[in-house]
Structure formats: structure tokens, C-alpha cells
Amino acid sequence: MALTGNSNIITRKYLDSLLIETRYMNSSVPDQSLTLYGQHFDSPVMTAALSHLDHFMFEGATSLYASAAAKTGTVLWLGMAEDPEVERCASTGAKMVETIKPFADRERIFQKIRHAESLGLLAVGIDIDHPFAEDGSPDIVDGYEMAPLTTAELRDFCSCSSLPLIVKGVLSTYDANEAVKAGVSGLVLSHHNNRIEYAIPPLMALPEIKAGLEKEVPIFVDCEIQTGLDVFKALALGATAVCIGRPLMTAIKKDGENGMAEYLLDVRKQLSKAMAYTGCTSLDKMDPTVIHHASWL
Ligand SMILES: Cc1cc2nc3c(=O)[nH]c(=O)nc-3n(C[C@H](O)[C@H](O)[C@H](O)COP(=O)(O)O)c2cc1C
């Protein structure tokens, strides 16, 4: 029996309840460029960590996902993938974050981090929110068993390479600070496409988590981000960058690599519009007071 409380629906409702205050006086043409882990990017709009696209869509879809990101200079987050697939995506030239599962076989995590380092990826992620299956037992994905991470284990993963390590699937100040204590270089606020029902929408959790962080690290956000205005709301509330997943799958289904590239460029244009209209004309001028929560929506 399907449970009620779908977190994607709740998250979408929350995003639509956030309204934008305009500030035209003294505004200017915006610049959405971003420096992250020592590298420069044209935009904070990124792909989300998707996996199994060849299975869910069609053969070659993962490669299209990567090449559309490369073509547009978009940071490519990739989900669970075997090494040859990671190598194929990296060979497109896209700046990439490989998201590694919390494999019960911890040696496999170390190997994947070292492999990512040898490919010169931008960073690696671990989705800490995927240890358990629907009944609370350890999940098994593609034959690999998962297990929850301890803070000490996360510390070892952080220090085993020179790559920034980002933890994905954070929705509490508790997890955020355990990860920060372990030495992570970033957090992704996400419920991972409704992994649990009634999850707090990432943008609702963002201000509290950011304020409660024992050490400042980049914060990424995903879930139900569809337009540049959604991206803007996340940035204004304190996100460093924002990831889009399923809408890019739809864009690929419609018009392949070009469809996804166009979608990403449209989102950037919409983001520029929101930045210009609010006077938040660069990422360091983002201001949470331009966002108002309408509880009646
Ligand atoms: C087909 C598919 C595969 C995914 N695979 C992964 C994965 O391997 N690792 C991960 O951390 N998240 C994975 N996710 C979750 C996404 O990274 C993202 O958190 C989620 O889809 C919410 O973003 P969206 O609403 O823009 O799709 C996957 C999502 C989808 C739809």
C-alpha cells in the first residue's frame, strides 16, 4: 500500500509558497558566476546525482546527461555508477561530482574515492540517506549491500584523498554537524526523490541548518527544483548551488542532448531575471529577506 505524504508533492507546495520581493532601485545586470573548490563556473545551476538512466530511459542516456552538462559548462553530479561509466562521463570534459553509495563494503568506498581522484573529478559525494530499504533493513542495490555511516568512518573517507567530500541527503542540523565534524567539504540538502514520506522540504530546512553549522561549508540543494525562480529562492535562502534532476530527464526524453542543454540555459536566464529584479545581482549579494513565506498558499 502506497503511503501518503509524498515528499515531492510537499516540497513543490513549499517552493510555491515562497514569494519574491522585488528591489529594482540600484540594481544592475546580474552575474551568476561561482567559484567552488578553487574552480570557476558560469552558473550555480548543476545537474542532480542521477543513476541508472540507461535503464530508466534508453541506452546511452547517461552519456547524453554528461555531454549536455559538458556542452553548457554545467557541473555534472552523477549518481551510483560502475567505474567504466564514471570514466565515460568524465571523458566528456564535464566538471564532475561522483556520488558514491554507502556501501557496506567500506573498502569499495575507498576504492571509488581513489578512482575519482585519479580521474581529476571536482569532488566526490556520499548519499548517507540510502543505507536502508523500505522496511528498514539494509538496502541492496545492484547486488551491493548498504550500511549507515558512522562519523568516524566518514572522517576516514574525508582524509583518504585530496578531493573535497560532500555528504548528500542531509535534512537535520544533527547530520549536518556530524558531517562537518568529520571534515566534509559540503552538504546536499535533499530527501532524494521521496526516500522518506513527509520529509522537510530542503528549503524549509536550509535556514536553520545553515545557522546551526559549527563550521561553514558549501550547501547544495535539490528536490523539485524546476525553474530559475526555484533556483533563486534556494540561493537567496543561503544555498551555494542548486541541482536539478528529473526535469532534465524529461528534457532529454523530449529532445536529447540539445533538449537538456536548452533547459539548463533557460533556467540560467530565469535565474538572471530573478537576480536583476531583486537587486541580488551576484551570489555574494543574495539576501534571504527578499523571500516571504505565504502560509496561505
Ligand atoms: C532515476 C534517478 C536516479 C537517482 N540516483 C541517485 C543516486 O544514485 N544517488 C543519489 O544520491 N541520488 C540519486 N537520485 C536522487 C537525485 O539525486 C535527487 O536527489 C532527486 O531526484 C531530487 O531531485 P529532483 O526532484 O530534481 O529529481 C536519483 C534520482 C532519480 C530520479
Return d(Cα 216, Cα 157) in angstroms, integer.
19
At the topology level of CATH, where does 31-283 sit? TIM Barrel (3.20.20)
Residue nearest to atom 8 of ligand 1 (CA): 79
Long-range CB contacts (< 8 A, 24+ apart) of 292-296? 292/18, 292/19, 292/20, 292/21, 293/17, 293/18, 293/19, 294/17, 294/18, 294/19, 295/17
Residue nearest to atom 4 of ligand 1 (CA): 50
Task: Give the residue extent of every domain in the chain.
Answer: 31-283
Task: From the CA of 188, give the closest atom in ligand 1.
Answer: 19
| Other Cβ atoms within 10 Å of 59 Cβ, number | 9
Distance 50 CA to ligand 1 centre (A): 5
Distance 189 CA to ligand 1 centre (A): 12
**What are 142-184's pLDDT values in tens digits?**
999 999 999 999 999 999 999 999 999 999 999 999 999 999 9
Ligand 1 residue neighbourhood (C-beta within 6 Å) = 48-52, 56, 79-80, 99, 127, 168, 190, 192-193, 222-225, 244-246
**What are 12-47's pLDDT values in tens digits?**
999 999 999 999 999 999 999 999 999 999 999 999
Q: HSE on the CB side for 26, CA within 13 Å?
A: 2
Distance 192 CA to ligand 1 centre (A): 5
Sorting pLDDT into bands at 50, 70 and 90, what band is 1?
A: low
Task: From the CA of 80, give the closest atom in ligand 1.
Answer: 8
pTM for the structure as a whole:
0.98
Distance 25 CA to ligand 1 centre (A): 39
Q: Quick check: 121 pLDDT over 80?
A: yes
In Å, how far from its chain's centre is CA 102?
17
